[in-house]
Chain A
């Protein structure tokens, strides 16, 4: 597996293994993928500071990786840890829904 970038180098590693293992699938440098990446970084820094690890996979570079996580839509954010696997598709523009999707915030129904 070819890992492209790890973001938030300073926050992720040091003290304890990342609680949130995230993988962002994009297809080239599109506005959508750029937006998704920016949104993701902002949300993570805000809510999961120090507890996450992000891996970015460009499917144009590594098309064979799409099947493994059953990627159809791009951008897709996959939460590998904590279990179970969660997927968030779209440019992650809605912060609340991203947090719900990552189970950082409880779903509205279950409040």
Chain B
């Protein structure tokens, strides 16, 4: 954002002075109007002074514009101490003559008023301070304190009008802070004089959790984001997260990364989820959401990538112990510096603040995988309209950084999908639904890929087993129009196994029987063949015998006829045999 300032400033109508505050320059299309006063108003503790101080410090350190901080409430030491918490060293900047601090203090009880006067003294001081550091930026914080110190408001108002004119004439980009009034932006109606740009800060407490918000009420001569944007005052100054400034133009990686659960990767076209995509894991209590999350982290760390886990239910040691019980060892990854666990109570701060904390942690650690477990705790008691834009910011941010993000979300019922989840899910690329199936007095876990953009994912419900070696997915029993899991599946499988065995035995038996039958038939055939041989032999023997007899008979007859003197008439009976 900081780099694109010059371009933004030239494209918009009026020149802008970048504040250097992440997000605010995006909302205002480049920063505050150059050479004009900007009113920053808000209730006590809304962050007016911090915004003003950051504007000044960043101007001096990053944009080469020195500044004057004229304070009417705190003194210089107090201010320096306050902004030190954001990492700014005002004292050093003062020594370098980049920033001039002037504490204007009026003690009402010391002052007597008589006759005419003006505030030339204030002008002289301001002019002197501006000259001493060659300032381009001026902060007046909170000039309304003068109303309490000076009794004659008519003179004061006239002088304030002159002051703002004076600032404009000198081309000073000014930030004027003002306390929020009952029905007005500022208690004393400063907005009458400062009409170029008005920024309203708000500090709201909802469900005992505070959220800071910022809105650009007015910006003369410039387009600006009109929404309320949450912001945080962190140790790097203010962070405002504008969603409208973020285009959907992030890269889409073709690389798919493992989820750490082979069975789940199988369901996701065998390769896992796309790098840089976001994954929602929903399920009721005890469906194994955290274990899926831990597997995901484990896989990333084993690939040598950095992972960041935001745990909102368990402390880091508890989480590590519990995940150890299902064979996921996270401790070595922490020792290697590949894994960071941020555990905190969701109620520690508002959703937006959590978001900014996450943002800062991600910026610092530069992980490639981020897990939020569970996100539902952050969104508790919050309306979808608030949750969704905030999560969208987070997800957009992660995508921009090509971070694969996994969010778990607790659902109240086994098959209930919360409204907010439906809203949130549209931001997610992959949605895994874990559920408990209760049958025959036991509950079994199942997993199902509800959606996965750009991946030809399985449409099957798998059974989800947590073993001491990690998570395993097995096919649930499918058949006879029902899906069975757990012991019902086991029983069904055993029954099927038994039936199969019986069938096999039966088949074996029948095969054997056939073999026997064939063998006996063979034996019979052999016997019959033997009998045939015997019969043939008998027949042959008899035939031969008969032949012999016939021959001998013929011979006898011949002999006889010869003996009787008759020549031999051969009888036909002599040769009856074919062979």
Chains A and B bind each other: yes
B110 interface residue (CB < 8 Å to A): yes
Interface size counted on chain A using CB atoms at 8 A: 34
Complex contact B114–A88 (CB within 8 A): yes
User: CB-CB contacts of B83-120 with A at 8 A, as 1s and 0s?
Assistant: 00000000000000000001111100011111111111
Complex contact B115–A93 (CB within 8 A): yes
Complex contact B104–A72 (CB within 8 A): yes
The stretch that binds A, out of B6-14, B121-129, B222-230, B397-405, is: B121-129
Complex contact B119–A73 (CB within 8 A): yes
User: CB-CB contacts of B111-153 with A at 8 A, as 1s and 0s?
Assistant: 1111111111110110110000000000000000010011000
Least CB distance, B501 to chain A, in whole angstroms: 100
B113: chain A residues within 8 A (beta carbon): 88-90, 97
A92: chain B residues within 8 A (beta carbon): 114-115
Complex contact A94–B115 (CB within 8 A): yes
Complex contact B116–A91 (CB within 8 A): yes
Query: B123: nearest residue on chain A (CB-CB)?
Result: A27
Pick the most buried of A76, A88, A97: most chain B CB atoms within 10 A of its CB.
Answer: A88
* Complex Cα–Cα for A27 and B118 (A): 10
Complex contact B114–A90 (CB within 8 A): yes
A63: chain B residues within 8 A (beta carbon): 124-125, 127-128
Beta-carbon contacts under 8 Å, A34-82 to B: 35-36, 39, 59-60, 63-64, 66-67, 70-76
Pick the most buried of A25, A32, A67, A91: most chain B CB atoms within 10 A of its CB.
Answer: A67
Interface size counted on chain B using CB atoms at 8 A: 25
A66: chain B residues within 8 A (beta carbon): 121, 124-125, 128
Complex contact A76–B114 (CB within 8 A): no
Least CB distance, A89 to chain B, in whole angstroms: 5
Query: Given the known A-B contacts A70-B105, A73-B150, A84-B110, are A91 and B128 also in contact in the complex, defined by CB atoms under 8 Å?
Result: no
A100: chain B residues within 8 A (beta carbon): 112
B118: chain A residues within 8 A (beta carbon): 32, 73-74
Complex contact A88–B121 (CB within 8 A): no
A71: chain B residues within 8 A (beta carbon): 121, 125
Query: Given the known A-B contacts A27-B124, A71-B121, are A87 and B115 also in contact in the complex, defined by CB atoms under 8 Å?
Result: no
* Complex Cα–Cα for A90 and B128 (A): 22
Picked from A27, A84, A86, A97, the residue with its CB within 8 Å of the CB of B121 is A27
Picked from A74, A85, A91, A94, the residue with its CB within 8 Å of the CB of B120 is A74
A98 interface residue (CB < 8 Å to B): yes
B149: chain A residues within 8 A (beta carbon): 72
Complex contact A91–B106 (CB within 8 A): no
A90: chain B residues within 8 A (beta carbon): 113-117
Beta-carbon contacts under 8 Å, B461-515 to A: none
B120: chain A residues within 8 A (beta carbon): 27, 59, 73-74
Query: Given the known A-B contacts A63-B128, A64-B128, A73-B150, are A87 and B111 also in contact in the complex, defined by CB atoms under 8 Å?
Result: yes
A32: chain B residues within 8 A (beta carbon): 115-118
Query: A86: nearest residue on chain B (CB-CB)?
Result: B110
Query: A76: nearest residue on chain B (CB-CB)?
Result: B121
B128: chain A residues within 8 A (beta carbon): 63-64, 66
* Complex Cα–Cα for A86 and B128 (A): 25
B117: chain A residues within 8 A (beta carbon): 32, 73-76, 89-91
Least CB distance, A35 to chain B, in whole angstroms: 7
* Complex Cα–Cα for A74 and B106 (A): 14
Query: Given the known A-B contacts A70-B105, A70-B106, A74-B118, are A88 and B111 also in contact in the complex, defined by CB atoms under 8 Å?
Result: yes
User: CB-CB contacts of A8-19 with B at 8 A, as 1s and 0s?
Assistant: 000000000000
Complex contact A36–B124 (CB within 8 A): no
Picked from B103, B104, B110, B114, the residue with its CB within 8 Å of the CB of A97 is B114
Complex contact A72–B119 (CB within 8 A): yes
Complex contact B121–A93 (CB within 8 A): no
Complex contact A60–B112 (CB within 8 A): no
Picked from B102, B103, B110, B121, the residue with its CB within 8 Å of the CB of A73 is B121
Complex contact A59–B121 (CB within 8 A): yes
B127: chain A residues within 8 A (beta carbon): 63
Picked from B106, B110, B116, the residue with its CB within 8 Å of the CB of A72 is B106
B119: chain A residues within 8 A (beta carbon): 72-74
* Complex Cα–Cα for A9 and B122 (A): 31
Least CB distance, A21 to chain B, in whole angstroms: 15
Query: A28: nearest residue on chain B (CB-CB)?
Result: B120
B102: chain A residues within 8 A (beta carbon): 67
Query: A91: nearest residue on chain B (CB-CB)?
Result: B115
Least CB distance, B109 to chain A, in whole angstroms: 9
User: CB-CB contacts of B50-92 with A at 8 A, as 1s and 0s?
Assistant: 0000000000000000000000000000000000000000000
Complex contact A25–B114 (CB within 8 A): no
* Complex Cα–Cα for A91 and B110 (A): 17
Query: B155: nearest residue on chain A (CB-CB)?
Result: A73
B105: chain A residues within 8 A (beta carbon): 70
* Complex Cα–Cα for A15 and B118 (A): 37
A60: chain B residues within 8 A (beta carbon): 124
- Could you jot down 27 A-B contacts, CB within 8 Å? A27-B121, A27-B124, A32-B115, A32-B116, A59-B121, A66-B121, A67-B102, A72-B121, A72-B122, A73-B117, A73-B118, A73-B119, A73-B122, A73-B150, A74-B117, A74-B119, A76-B117, A76-B121, A84-B110, A87-B111, A89-B150, A90-B115, A91-B116, A92-B115, A93-B115, A98-B114, A100-B112
Q: Contact residues of B with A, CB < 8 Å?
A: 102-106, 110-122, 124-125, 127-128, 146, 149-150
Q: Contact residues of A with B, CB < 8 Å?
A: 25, 27, 32, 35-36, 39, 59-60, 63-64, 66-67, 70-76, 84-94, 97-98, 100-101
Q: A27-B120, A72-B146, A86-B110 are in contact. List 17 more A-B contacts (CB 8 A).
A: A27-B124, A32-B115, A32-B116, A39-B115, A59-B120, A63-B127, A63-B128, A66-B128, A70-B105, A72-B125, A73-B122, A76-B121, A84-B110, A89-B112, A93-B116, A94-B114, A94-B115
Task: Pick the 5 closest A-B CB pairs, nearest first.
Answer: A101-B112, A90-B115, A63-B128, A93-B115, A91-B115
